[in-house]
Amino acid sequence: MNGPVQCEWVERPRSAWRALPAARTAAPLAAVTALLLGPPPAQMRGAAHVAPGAEKLLDAVVNISTNQTLKGSEGAPLPKVPKGAPFEEFFEDFFDRKGGRGPGDRKVSAQGSGFVIDGKEGLIVTNNHVIEGADEIIINFADGSKLKVDKVLGKDSKTDLALLKVTPKKPLAQVPFGASGKMKVGDWVMAIGNPFGLGGSVSVGIISAKQRDINTGPYDDYLQTDAAINKGNSGGPLFNMDGEVIGVNTAIISPTGGSIGIGFAVPSDAATIVVEQLRQFGETRRGWLGVNVQSITDDLAEAYGLKENVGALVASVAPEGPAAKAGILDGDVIVKFDGKDVTTMRGLPRLVSQTQIGKEVDVELLRKGQRRTVRVAIGRLVEDAKAAPAKTSKRVNPKSRGGKGNDKGGNIRPPGQSLIGLVLAPLTDDLRSKHGLGPNVKGVVVVDVDPASSAAQRQIKAGDVIVEVAQEAVTSIDDISKGIERVRTAGRNAVLLRVEDGKGDMRFVAVPIE
């Protein structure tokens, strides 16, 4: 397994447990080193006084066990394992635990971690994937007591967070959130959780990296740590040395399923916003700017004349959205949002989503080499649906209508002029029909691409429409030719094209000028 995995609990077969040999030479070697070199500097001695801090925090960290009924087909055969086979014990253990060998439904259980943020109200934070689909959720406390979850107050799949409610008989121990933004790479952290069902396990490490994108969702911004995090730690807290929660442990990268020192936690700065919304509304209410953005590649930075490939390039603007009302245009490069630098394309959606709905913010952008600032009133993002569709046109049946330029099989021969590896042609009814382009699409259509060209390497394909060249509208092949010549005269090595595909999606592409 090469990618990140969620660190939920799994039962290990008995054969997996092995005693570790004693490190017979460790103590003498350490003593000799200390005598020769003296004590290390304070910053190299590791986290001091971990035990007192961990002792105070253990009561607020909980183990979460869930039960779920899975629907099964009656009479479905179970695997048969020969008597005495190496995995006989594992299969017996597995299927007995999953509800026996009878037909029909079966119950499964799983475990994870969580932590109390409000002892009086009985509010507990965990991962969404820990409780997803559960019929029953039980909270197990460090003193051996148990409470059944009364209600899942809310959950958010995009950040993998959930907020649970129990009714405590007495106030529970609780822990506060800290500021993850203040953490630096190399700072000491402590994880407490329920790895492999071993509740109350404490591990210590450092922040290995920040702002990690591991491709689990649109708002990936993980803290990376080498503190031991295993399956079952999911939903548990990552503490700073002041006993504040600065992350919610969520995923690991491991080829074996065990810790190899690469774990990820949702930063508290993001988690506190989501948790507070779940507490107030039972759902997330994210900000919405109303733009589709793309990354600034080295080629695009060259085409735009930018010194660095930073910022978020606006590929399209939603009609009547907040950005459109503020005057943000296609082709603008957003470099700062509400006073915060936008260093990558993925950074902008995170900043926008965490902004209060209705708040007016300054957006700094580059337009044709000029820096300007616009004021935007942030709207509300409609989850799991587009709040306002991007500019699209009515599509027509892609089947050919016949007519001039068609061969007997109804395929349109690629006429037109070749530029930068693209065979281009004016839009006609036949070409619109062939490529499913609506009547409102304007520009020049690509009818063929040289497979060895730079344009092909940048995923331009037949059926794409060139709607702009060097941020100027295109109505003819001659417009493209003149645009390329202007870029060449300006001394740039790439021309900026704005391309629309058959689905109506817009993007900018920088194609080197041969």
**CA angle 453-459-464, nearest 5°?**
100
What are the residue numbers of the active site? 129, 160, 234
**Look-up of token digits 């702002």:** 211
Residue 375 has pLDDT above 50, yes or no: yes
Q: What is the pLDDT of residue 384?
A: 55
Cβ neighbours of residue 329 under 8 Å, at least 6 residues apart? Answer: 314, 317, 367
Half-sphere exposure of 220 (CA within 13 A, CB side): 14
pLDDT digits (tens, 9 = 90+) for 161-213: 999 999 999 999 999 999 999 999 999 999 999 888 888 889 999 999 998 88
Q: What is the pLDDT of residue 38?
A: 57
Contacts made by residues 164-169, CB under 8 angstroms, sequence distance 24+: 164/64, 164/114, 164/123, 164/124, 164/125, 164/126, 164/131, 164/137, 164/139, 165/121, 165/122, 165/123, 165/124, 166/122, 166/124, 166/139, 167/122, 168/119, 168/120, 168/122
pLDDT level of residue 18 (50, 70, 90 thresholds): very low
Mean pLDDT of 3-12: 48
pLDDT digits (tens, 9 = 90+) for 46-94: 566 677 778 889 999 999 999 887 765 544 444 444 454 444 444 344 3
Q: What is the pLDDT of residue 122?
A: 95
Q: What is the pLDDT of residue 165?
A: 96
Residue 407 has pLDDT above 60, yes or no: no
Average pLDDT, the chain: 79
Compute the chain's Rg from CA coordinates: 29
pLDDT digits (tens, 9 = 90+) for 275-305: 999 999 999 999 999 998 988 888 888 777 7
pLDDT level of residue 110 (50, 70, 90 thresholds): confident
Between CA 471 and CA 370 the distance in angstroms is 13
Q: What is the pLDDT of residue 494?
A: 84
SS3 category, 188: strand
Q: What is the pLDDT of residue 11?
A: 38
Q: What is the pLDDT of residue 156?
A: 93
291: enclosing H helix or E strand: strand 291-295
Residue 393 has pLDDT above 50, yes or no: no
Q: Do residues 352 and 378 lie in contact, with contact meaning Cβ atoms separated by under 8 Å? A: yes
Residues across the chain? 514
- Look up the pTM and report it: 0.67
Half-sphere exposure of 468 (CA within 13 A, CB side): 15
Between CA 221 and CA 264 the distance in angstroms is 9
What would the two tokens of residue 252 be?
């690991």
